[in-house]
Amino acid sequence: MPETKTKKSEDFNEWYNEIVELADLCDKRYPIKGMNVWKPYGWKLMNNVDSLTRHEMEKTNHQEVYFPLLIPESFFKKEEEHIEGFGSEVYWITHAGTNKLEERWLLRPTSETAMYPIFSLWIRSHSDLPLKTFQIVNTFRYETKQTRAFIRVREIHFFEAHTCHTDFEDAERQVKEDKEIADRLLKKLCLPYIFSKRPEWDKFAGAHYTISIDVLMPSGRTLQIGSIHQYKDNFAKPYEISYETEEGTHTYCHQTTYGMSERLLGALIGVHGDNKGLVMPPAVAPIQVVIIPIIFKGKEKNVLDVCNKLHKKLTEDNIRSHVDDREITPGNKYYDWELKGVPLRVEIGPKDVEKKEIVIVQRNTGKKRSILQEKAEKTIKNELDTIANTLFTNAKKLLDENMQRVHTVDEAKERKGIIEIPWCGNKDCAIEIENILEGNTLGEPIDKGTCDYSCPICRGAAKTWMRFAKMY
Amino acid sequence: MPETKTKKSEDFNEWYNEIVELADLCDKRYPIKGMNVWKPYGWKLMNNVDSLTRHEMEKTNHQEVYFPLLIPESFFKKEEEHIEGFGSEVYWITHAGTNKLEERWLLRPTSETAMYPIFSLWIRSHSDLPLKTFQIVNTFRYETKQTRAFIRVREIHFFEAHTCHTDFEDAERQVKEDKEIADRLLKKLCLPYIFSKRPEWDKFAGAHYTISIDVLMPSGRTLQIGSIHQYKDNFAKPYEISYETEEGTHTYCHQTTYGMSERLLGALIGVHGDNKGLVMPPAVAPIQVVIIPIIFKGKEKNVLDVCNKLHKKLTEDNIRSHVDDREITPGNKYYDWELKGVPLRVEIGPKDVEKKEIVIVQRNTGKKRSILQEKAEKTIKNELDTIANTLFTNAKKLLDENMQRVHTVDEAKERKGIIEIPWCGNKDCAIEIENILEGNTLGEPIDKGTCDYSCPICRGAAKTWMRFAKMY
């Protein structure tokens, strides 16, 4: 079988670029850096991820809304930390037609400052709470670092949930629900992850605290694919989001947000793919099962009939399948669909038809076996589950092998991946560790546990374990 | 039953604004004029329309793509007529963070100039054709006229199909297919429409010809809800979209586009709504059937059981239903759901349970009858079809009564709606008729037929009938 020019294990980043291109997910030749064209296969994959997200949001009573893309500068500037955090990354509209605008507008980098002035109109009384909304939109950030498809782009496909609550405790319950949602979603993408509470100096601009959701890529770097923020009343105050309590007093709401982006695609491409191309988690694969008739000179009509019949049955069972009846060799078809990462291949030839069997081949392992036609749907369903489980297990092994606790900086220097080191709570010490490891402070484990060691920099008592890693 | 303050028949435009607001489709208080917040109910309705569109696109082998929002000025300026047509309506980005951009970027007003330079990379040979793509995105136009929810906005939810073909004839076949798609879609929205070939001076900037799709609103004005354009090779030449023929020569593609927008919502609100609120066509209604338990003091648990059981069955039959078990009076519930335009209401009280019946009430006619529980799903399905048919028939009657052929301007002045008048083909004559009627030139019927009369302005022989109407 043909393989990628670059091997995944040798140069992960180059391999990543190569398969994104070969698998036809996006076109990077658009003339604005970091703004790529989504091609049909990539867009379908993204839409399937969005569908899972929408499903989770529906189950948890979030309402989908859509807020305008453009935000007046005066709206944007109401929360000081927020503008400080985002000010250098936004795109400004100054003219409409030939007219200069009276006030500049910016493209949403995230939607707090578009939504919250309106939330202050929607929320009057405790009976309006909790308000649980979300939207799936594109956001815009002027990235100056090197761009990379799905991982670092300037037009970002983005999911953002925004909620308002009566008090801090109810907002905390929302954070808990968000963590559960993330867990269910990432399971479906076969992606193990870690939650880390970001250090104070690296939390979301304006947040009370930030929990980042990170995936370990095979390069040993972490990729932040989402985050959950507790805002307390930090935004509610400047945006005047308050309500009348049951007792008739007025008080500010507490808020949370939960965001994820197209980086989910970057993660699943990077974690699951191999030297033959993509490997799609079954839950989001645009095609879950490709059916390939093994026919020569197009004679065997009954083979095609069996293929089409299977396709029909799978469709009725809500399994996304496709019969590839192109006039090219089966080998060429295998190559194409392996590149596209279709989780399961079905081969049906004249002999299989005689024996009332079909052949199934797992994309991730290459395992091949014959099964009875009459049990096809059930076996295929199970096989897709098996594939998903294997993908998750392998990725979990990668994560577990590359996340380690050490007590000294010297030990840390010898390890790859995510390192947990005792930390005293001082920013200076963390920055020093960052410099030594040439990595970043990822954050504390959220289920801390105690840490009875001392900070390897200042020798003070450690307050917690702190994670460090090289990040995308 | 409570009714809108403004009666539809008395002041259509004011009535329209009132029900958009009361039914909670969008919030117009966002501080940028013409950029509204989509509220959950409105957004669901729009998504349902988008789903129908996607379904039609899939059936006709169009591929969904997503092209970047931002377009470099140099891309935009390649086709002269196009920039002339859109130049005064676009929003310009001049700065990113604190940096001034080297080249200005604009927000897509439509995506020809973003897509076509990339199409020229995608298309190499006749085997790449036809290329049939579409996207559903928001577009941005700096409207200076009075804005109106869904009808005239500055951030426009937009569907745009873009196709490339080997020659003019194949592009013509695409135009034909687009007309068939429009017909199927608009049937589902219960909206009768007319196709008109726009006059030369009012076709899409850069097009060879434009077919507009117009709906007659009850105010007597037409609303253009979509258009189909034959581009010939007008864009292919400046954007260099060419291909190698089977014979090995190189030639330019012929192109078409087909666009529709959130105006579809404006049309269905305006055409079907009444003084009690919205009336949703069943195919896109966010809730098709609302089930209301008639219970007093919450005692009758068996009533709720029957409601929930029906909800479950309808869900299995892919009918979108909702049990309203709020603790308010049934009357208040009726009011709410009539306002939201839910096509069918089911009432179930203790007596109905005894008789194994349910009561169904049509939103559009108010007709009420009892049916057997055991036949509920089937009867409800038929009832939704009946409602759709009635909505279409009534709207068709409105259109037919308000579209008339006349031979003189004096006759035309006495009529409302759409007037067809003999026309010589001279722009000056059409403009004069516009001035006299205080209306616009809509375009020629596309199934022209001959017109044996003379132009009422210049007395020359008429080339065709020409439609005039007041337009939104």
pLDDT score at B128: 97
Q: How far is Cα A53 from Cα B360, in angstroms, rounded to an integer?
A: 35
pLDDT score at A298: 63
Helix (H) or strand (E) holding B191: none
Contact yes or no for A257/A161 (Cβ under 8 A): yes
Q: How far is Cα A433 from Cα A349, in angstroms, rounded to an integer?
A: 61
> Which of A68, A121, A122 comes nearest B32 by C-beta?
A68
Of B49, B58, B162, the C-alpha closest to A37 is: B162
Helix (H) or strand (E) holding B185: helix B168-188
pLDDT score at A338: 97
Contact yes or no for B191/B268 (Cβ under 8 A): yes
> Which of B31, B105, B122 comes nearest A32 by C-beta?
B105
Residues 6 or more apart whose Cβ sits within 8 Å of residue A392: A187, A190, A191, A192
Which B residues 230-249 touch A at CB under 8 Å?
A: none
Q: The CATH number of A403-469 is which of 3.40.50.12500, 3.30.110.30, 3.40.309.10, 2.40.50.100? A: 3.30.110.30
Looking at chain B, the number of H-run helices and the number of E-run strands are: 14, 23
Contact yes or no for A267/A223 (Cβ under 8 A): yes
pLDDT in tens, chain A (472 residues): 568 899 999 999 999 999 999 999 999 999 999 999 999 999 999 999 999 999 999 999 999 999 999 999 999 988 777 777 777 899 999 999 999 999 999 999 999 999 999 999 999 999 999 999 999 999 999 988 999 999 999 999 999 999 999 999 999 999 999 999 999 999 999 999 999 999 999 999 899 999 999 999 999 999 999 999 999 999 999 999 999 999 999 999 999 999 999 999 999 999 999 999 999 999 999 999 999 999 876 667 799 999 999 999 999 999 999 999 998 999 999 999 999 999 999 999 999 999 999 999 999 999 999 999 999 999 999 999 999 999 999 999 999 999 999 999 999 999 999 999 999 999 999 999 999 999 999 999 998 778 889 999 999 999 999 999 999 9
Rounded alpha-carbon distances, angstroms, from residue B243 to B119, B124, B132, B165: 11, 5, 15, 10
Residues 6 or more apart whose Cβ sits within 8 Å of residue A39: A24, A25, A26, A27, B65
Averaged over B279-284, what is the pLDDT? 98
List for chain A the helix, strand, coil content (%; round to 5): 35, 30, 35
> Which of A40, A95, A117 comes nearest B65 by C-beta?
A40
> Which of A40, A91, A140 comes nearest B64 by C-beta?
A40
- DSSP assigned state of A274: B
Burial of A109 (0-12, 13-18, 19+ CB in 10 A): buried
Q: Which tens digits make up the pLDDT trace of B116-132? A: 999 999 999 999 999 99
For chain A, how many residues are written?
472
Q: Which tens digits make up the pLDDT trace of A399-444? A: 999 999 999 999 999 999 999 999 999 999 999 999 999 999 999 9
Flag whether residue A383 sits within 8 Å of chain B, measured between CB atoms: no
Name residue A241's amino acid. Answer: I
pLDDT score at A144: 87
Q: How far is Cα A233 from Cα A256, in angstroms, rounded to an integer?
A: 9
Which A residues 166-205 touch B at CB under 8 Å?
A: none
Contact B90 A75 (CB under 8 A): no
Distance from CA of A141 to the nearest CA of B (A): 9
- Looking at domain A12-272, what is its CATH homologous superfamily? Bira Bifunctional Protein; Domain 2 (3.30.930.10)
Averaged over B59-77, what is the pLDDT? 96
Q: How far is Cα B13 from Cα A243, in angstroms, rounded to an integer?
A: 34
Averaged over B347-361, what is the pLDDT? 96
Mutation target among B36, B44, B62, B66 for the A interface, most CBs of A within 10 A: B66
Q: How far is Cα A258 from Cα B215, in angstroms, rounded to an integer?
A: 42
When the pLDDT of each residue in chain B is averaged and rounded to a whole number, the result is 95
Helix (H) or strand (E) holding A223: strand A222-232
Q: Which tens digits make up the pLDDT trace of A316-328? A: 999 999 999 998 9
Flag whether residue B72 sits within 8 Å of chain A, measured between CB atoms: yes
Contact B142 A97 (CB under 8 A): yes
Residue B295 has pLDDT above 90, yes or no: no
Q: Is B456 helix (H, G, I), strand (E, B) or coil?
A: coil
Flag whether residue B331 sits within 8 Å of chain A, measured between CB atoms: no
What is the band of B80 on the pLDDT scale with cuts at 50, 70, 90? confident
Contact yes or no for B416/B398 (Cβ under 8 A): no
pLDDT score at A2: 65
pLDDT score at A1: 53
Q: Which residues of A touch B63 (CB under 8 A)?
A: 40
Q: Which residues of B140-156 are buried (b: 16+ CB within 10 A; e: fewer)?
A: bbbbeeeebbbbbbbbb
Flag whether residue B110 sits within 8 Å of chain A, measured between CB atoms: no
Q: Which tens digits make up the pLDDT trace of A371-393? A: 999 999 999 999 999 999 999 99
Flag whether residue B142 sits within 8 Å of chain A, measured between CB atoms: yes
pLDDT score at B83: 77
Residue that is written with structure tokens 């354009």 in the block: B229
Flag whether residue A425 sits within 8 Å of chain B, measured between CB atoms: no
Residues 6 or more apart whose Cβ sits within 8 Å of residue B366: none
> Which of A64, A92, A140 comes nearest B43 by C-beta?
A64
pLDDT score at B2: 65
Helix (H) or strand (E) holding B24: none
Q: Which residues of A touch B64 (CB under 8 A)?
A: 40, 43-44, 47
Q: Which CATH class is domain B289-383?
A: alpha beta
pLDDT score at A88: 86
pLDDT score at A295: 87
More confident residue, B300 or B442: B442
Q: How far is Cα B330 from Cα B349, in angstroms, rounded to an integer?
A: 11
pLDDT score at A447: 83
Contact yes or no for B192/B152 (Cβ under 8 A): no
CB neighbours of residue A63 within 10 Å: 16
Residue B448 has pLDDT above 80, yes or no: no
Flag whether residue B352 sits within 8 Å of chain A, measured between CB atoms: no
Averaged over B395-401, what is the pLDDT? 97
Flag whether residue A153 sits within 8 Å of chain B, measured between CB atoms: no
Rounded alpha-carbon distances, angstroms, from residue B112 to A192, A248, B123, B131, B158: 41, 56, 15, 14, 13
Q: Which residues of A touch B27 (CB under 8 A)?
A: 118, 121-122
Flag whether residue B44 sits within 8 Å of chain A, measured between CB atoms: yes
Contact yes or no for A342/A292 (Cβ under 8 A): no
CATH topology for A289-382? Rossmann fold (3.40.50)
- Phi and psi of B188, rounded to 5°? -65, -30
What is the band of B87 on the pLDDT scale with cuts at 50, 70, 90? confident
Fold: same for A12-272 and A403-469 = no
Where in B278-402 does DSSP place strands (E)?
289-293, 321-323, 344-348, 357-362, 368-372
Q: Strand A254-261 vs strand B250-252: parallel, antiparallel, or unpaired?
A: unpaired
Residue B1 has pLDDT above 60, yes or no: no
| Per-domain residue ranges of chain B | 12-272, 289-383, 403-469
Rounded alpha-carbon distances, angstroms, from residue A348 to A304, A313, A330, A352, A354: 8, 15, 11, 6, 10
Lowest mean pLDDT among B63-72, B299-308, B415-424: B299-308
Cis peptide before B130 (omega within 30 of 0): yes
Distance from CA of A173 to the nearest CA of B (A): 23
Flag whether residue B147 sits within 8 Å of chain A, measured between CB atoms: no
Flag whether residue B94 sits within 8 Å of chain A, measured between CB atoms: yes
Per the DSSP assignment, residues forming a β-bridge with B405 are B420
Q: Which residues of B touch A75 (CB under 8 A)?
A: 31
> Which of B36, B64, B97 comes nearest A142 by C-beta?
B97
Contact yes or no for A77/A83 (Cβ under 8 A): yes
